[in-house]
Copies of this chain bind each other. A is one copy, B any other.
């Protein structure tokens, strides 16, 4: 059993990284991927470009299943004798079905302009149609990934120069994409016109870096410059390094309104990152505060109510929730009621019965003295299937609290995501199952009360809320980007 699979949170598909103009390109990429590990834990890879003495460019790639620390366990991989200049990297999450080696990124190919390597975070919604067209014209596909479509689109473009080819390809794909692309002499970063997934630009020791989140910059000591804009194709080459002026190309279909994934704020991104131009930690605290305003828990006996989080993902939310209660003079205190074990390693076997229960117990234990006879509030960021929440509540009950009140800092998840989050099927979503009715879900999970944050409450807690700049399809079913047909992840396998 993998400990990280016990969580029932949605999974982001990827983290991407790129660097241009550094002799330690592979080392920076390695650390960047370590910092982005939370965005994908199934597989990872790094591709570097190096120049031989005769001026020839060679691409070198190491990829594998597992954590960054597992795939890159050997110094030799990162200590090339050849001078490096640029590299891209990728962390991947995937469900079992599509967990084939051919799907591990970066994808590296040769085409008529030389080497081409690509890392992709997001999901294309017209990939199936494009793939059918490409195949009918004689293209062959090695992976089941939508990302391979982009490679063929670039190679098939009848444009003369490479940037035009890439623009041509990206103009024709629909969906969510934050990309880093490595060619023989350039690093290119691209983001779809809606800016669904984050992508940031930074600088370290004179080299430009691209990463999904700024936490990757912190680890390598890079400074944050700005985000890659929705619809922007940013080109970094020797000229850019020299002039320090980015060259940008813009996609033809820039949405007037970005549609950033609001779940990046709710759960995906690390709290220490800046994402979509805002501190994630700050937004998460605001979500907690709004949740407290909307759905406080009042003390029945005047004693301070312990507010506890599900560590570590809802720690910040719990701080926000409790600070708002205090502001509203509701007797409360922040407490640690659940201890999360980080010692057991990533995978372990589970002999004996009832595997889900034992998994939850291995991951969490209660602090009895904090919970006993108390009227507790447990704050979490979201509920997907509800099975882990149910197990957690069962565990908490053993510590004999007087009451358990659950507060969720997002609305009920009712719809699947087609832009890169990996939810279970709609039927498995607990909110869908019970028609989004809090009373029924509350009963199923076994708490004394359950309150979700309202949609309005969520929107007013995020920055730029006035412009409707977010994709909230998983709560509303209102998909901002065309889905030509249900593009299923494993469909091409």
Contacts and interface: CB of A to CB of B under 8 A. Distances in A.
Most buried by B among A58, A69, A135: A69
Interface stretch (A188-196, A357-365, A409-417): A357-365
Contacts of A455: none
Contacts of A101: 63, 101
A271 B371 CA distance: 13
6 contacts: A27-B351, A68-B345, A78-B349, A107-B142, A142-B142, A279-B368
Question: What number of copies of this chain does the assembly contain?
Answer: 4
Given A24-B352, A109-B140, A272-B366, A344 B218 contact: no
A358 B31 contact: yes
A141 B109 contact: yes
Q: Which of A107, A323, A366, A369 has the most CB of B within 10 A?
A: A369
B351 A78 contact: yes
Interface stretch (A33-41, A435-443, A464-472): A33-41
A427 interface: no
B342 A342 contact: yes
Interface in A442-493: 492-493
A101 B157 CA distance: 28
Contact of A151 (B41, B67, B140): B140
A369 B111 contact: no
Contact of A281 (B116, B151, B336): B336
A121 interface: no
Given A73-B347, A78-B351, A142-B142, 8 more contacts: A58-B493, A72-B348, A112-B136, A138-B157, A279-B367, A279-B369, A319-B335, A319-B336
A281 B367 contact: yes
Contacts of A100: 61
B67 A343 contact: yes
Interface string A24-50: 100100110011011001000000000
A139 interface: yes
Given A156-B138, A351-B75, A218 B37 contact: no
B27 A352 contact: yes
A108 B493 CA distance: 11
